[in-house]
Amino acid sequence: MRALIVDDEKHVRDAIRLLVDWDKHGIDEVLEAEDGIKAAEIVIESSPQIIMTDMRMPGQDGAQLLKWLHTNAPDSKVIVISGYDNFELVRHTIRYGGMDYILKPVEAEAVNEAIARAVTTWRSQEEERQRRFKQSIEMNQMKPLYHDKLLSELIMEDSAKDSVLTQLQAEFPYLKLAQSVTVAVMSTHQLDDAIVRKYEYNRELLFFTLINICNDFLKKQGKGIAFRHLERLDEIVILYWDDQDALNTALRNINEGITITLHRRMHFGVGSLHVFPNKAAASYHEARQSLWHRNLLHGDSYIHRDIRTETAQFKPLRLKAYQEKFRLAALSGSLDQMSSVLDEWMAQAKQLDFLTPEQLDQWNTEWDWLLEQWIEDGPLENEPEHESIIHSELTGWLPLGEDGLLSFPKWKEQWTKRLQAAGKMLTNVHGKENHVIFDIARYVERNYHEDISLQDIASRFYLSREYISRKFKQQFGVTLSDYLGNIRIEKAKVLLLNPQLRISQIAEMVGYQDEKYFSKVFKKIEGITPNDFRKQSHSLTQE
């Protein structure tokens, strides 16, 4: 949870920082602004849940900020901290949704009580917002999910199955008239970390927003459809038929809509025109290659087509050539040493004419391999039984700027954290209470209802996929996948006792988007289908 302190006097901001027990209230990030104008910028960028503001400030004062927040950030909880005991200011605070009005000098007990009330209220309202959002999704998601499944199958097959095509044409009658198709692809993995952070607690909302923007423009033309690729969950795919020349205009219009909503532009990879439906997969693979082979070092276009000729001459750097320098820098624990090695490595990258998202991804994979080797052949006589890894929410994302190009400062920051984490692990400085495998288990138990992949966990905990798989099996006697499946099925068994919940709803609530797959996993673990389990449980309660 984030908080924002708004006051033109720095000593007041410093005092509030010292007086508030942030950890107790579950606030892990505290931002500051010296006036209402700067505060509005921070609210747009970071969406703090709790805002504390002075009333009398130069530029935009607290009264104006309250009015702006009432319209632009209505879910935030605002506490006014003012030196003026003025009825009009208090009335203005109440009118525009302020929760408390505290007079200076600030007392620790008063401000902590106010923040506790604000946090409790926000969490309660957030639960209600999430409940309503899920209800809305339940009502509107089942059919789009079915569409996504059919369309995902269409672009993954070398030749479209007649059954898939028949079902698609039943859902979209205008597809019967389509003779050819061009595919465009965008990926949320190619967004900058600021957007990722903004949607870190609700990634589904990001996809919902992007797909709706795309389809709003495509429906007006009647020539295309956007959907989420269920085999590659970071991707949104656009099928655009017949008129390839108009696709560029459509993508530019879509990007304008995304810019208005997210204040970002998306990069699109575009395939060539192919016969529909049998060659839709070919256009998709070309589009994906164009997106992941685009140049991250320079370029002003957001639409990328067939760049294989340019990348054919590209000879990438190998991370392995720097492995010993990286290992020694990690073991040194010295930020200066890490910075020096990374500067040397990145200086080589800066000299390249071409650097692609795919190459960054390959270096991440190489890092996994190097880390695994260091663990196996580390400086300790025996393999460490306890490791503590620096935690970051953003390590699975490419270090890109708002323009979608490589940000060297972000890239260096990402790798500095990796080296720090590796150094802590290799020197085995923490005990069992910080055992990373137990941390991973706790993370799975808390987030079982989300999309969780081994790669997500590897990125989050700075460990290789192979190491996590091996150590998890050693510690718990089951694979990470089976551990997650068992948790989900145990939760599902409880939910199945409620006859008002549909099985499709329960599947989604425990982390399965596909009801059939949920039923398959349930039967594998329990020996019966969810429906049979529900019937048996009902019979037992009647006896």
Q: Tell me the residue range of the domain where 538 lies.
A: 481-542
Query: Domain for residue 445, yes or no?
Result: no
The residue out of 310, 337, 352 marking a domain boundary is 310
Of 260, 281, 310, the one marking the end of a domain is: 310
**Better-predicted residue by pLDDT, 461 or 264:** 264
* Alpha carbon 69 to its chain's center: 25
Peptide bond into 384 cis (omega under 30): no
- Asked, for residue 191, whether it belongs to a domain, the answer is yes
Identify the residue with better confidence: 542 or 14: 14
For the chain, how big is the Rg over CA atoms in Å?
26
* 201-211 residue pLDDT tens: 788 889 999 99
Residue pointed to by tokens 């499944």 = 149
Number of domains in the chain: 4
Residue 50 to residue 115: CA distance in whole angstroms: 8
Is 148 within the bounds of a domain?
Answer: no
As a whole number of Å, the end-to-end CA separation of the chain is 48
Same domain membership, residue 259 and residue 162: yes
pLDDT in tens, 358-402: 888 888 888 878 877 776 654 433 343 333 333 333 345 789 998
Which domain CATH number covers 278? Answer: 3.30.70.270
Residue 446: inside a domain, yes or no? no
Query: Quick one: 279 and 403 in the same domain?
Result: no
Q: In the sheet that 50-53 helps form, which strands lie side by side, from edge to edge?
A: 29-33, 2-6, 50-53, 77-82, 98-103
162 with 306, same domain: the answer is yes
Does the global pTM surpass 0.95? no
Same domain, 260 and 286: yes
290 pLDDT more than 80: yes
CATH of the domain at 509: 1.10.10.60
- Residues in Cβ contact with 359 at an 8 Å cutoff, skipping those fewer than 6 apart: 316
Angle (CA) 481 483 488, round 5°: 95
pLDDT the model gives residue 542? 58
Kindly state whether residues 261 and 305 are assigned to the same domain.
Answer: yes
Verify that 242 and 345 share a domain, yes or no. Answer: no
Find, among 520, 510, 454, the residue nearest to 481 by Cα: 454
Question: Do 298 and 336 sit in the same domain of this protein?
Answer: no
- How much helix, strand and coil, in percent to the nearest 5, is found in the chain? 60, 10, 30
Q: Pick the last residue of a domain from 270, 292, 310.
A: 310
Is 461 found in the same domain as 336? yes
Nearest to 57 by CA among 80, 36, 87, 33: 36
Three state DSSP letters for 300-321: CCCEEECCHHHHCCCCCCCHHH
Residue 150 lies in a domain: no
Residue 428 lies in a domain: yes
Question: Does 312 score more than 60 pLDDT?
Answer: no
Please check whether residue 480 is in contact with residue 415, taking contact to mean a CB–CB distance below 8 angstroms: no
Regarding whether 188 and 249 lie in a shared domain, the answer is: yes
Percentage of the chain modeled with pLDDT above 90: 35
How far apart are the C-alpha atoms of 505 and 495, rounded to whole Å?
10
**H-helix or E-strand containing 183?**
strand 180-187
For residue 202, the model assigns a pLDDT of: 80
Of residues 416 and 143, the one with the higher pLDDT is: 416
Same domain (yes/no): 221, 287? yes
Say what the pLDDT of residue 382 is: 38
- 535 in a structural domain: yes
CA atoms of 93 and 77, how far apart (whole Å): 12
CB neighbours of 33 closer than 8 A, spacing ≥ 6? 4, 5, 6, 39, 41, 42
Going by C-beta distance under 8 Å and a sequence separation of 6 or more, which residues neighbour residue 214? 226, 236, 238, 254
Q: Considering the domain boundaries, does residue 139 fall inside one?
A: no
- Could you tell me if 198 and 105 lie in one domain? no
Residue 380: what pLDDT? Answer: 38
In tens, the pLDDT along 356-365 reads 998 888 888 8
pLDDT for 390 equals 32
Phi first, then psi: give them for residue 235, nearest 5 degrees.
Answer: -100, 140
Residue 269 has phi, psi (to 5 degrees) of -95, 135
Higher pLDDT, 539 or 277: 277
* Confidence (pLDDT) at 140: 57
pLDDT tens figures, 21-62:
999 999 999 999 999 999 999 999 999 999 999 988 888 888
Residue-wise pLDDT tens digits, 278-287: 888 999 999 9
**pLDDT number for residue 303:** 93
Residues 16 and 38 grouped into a single domain: yes
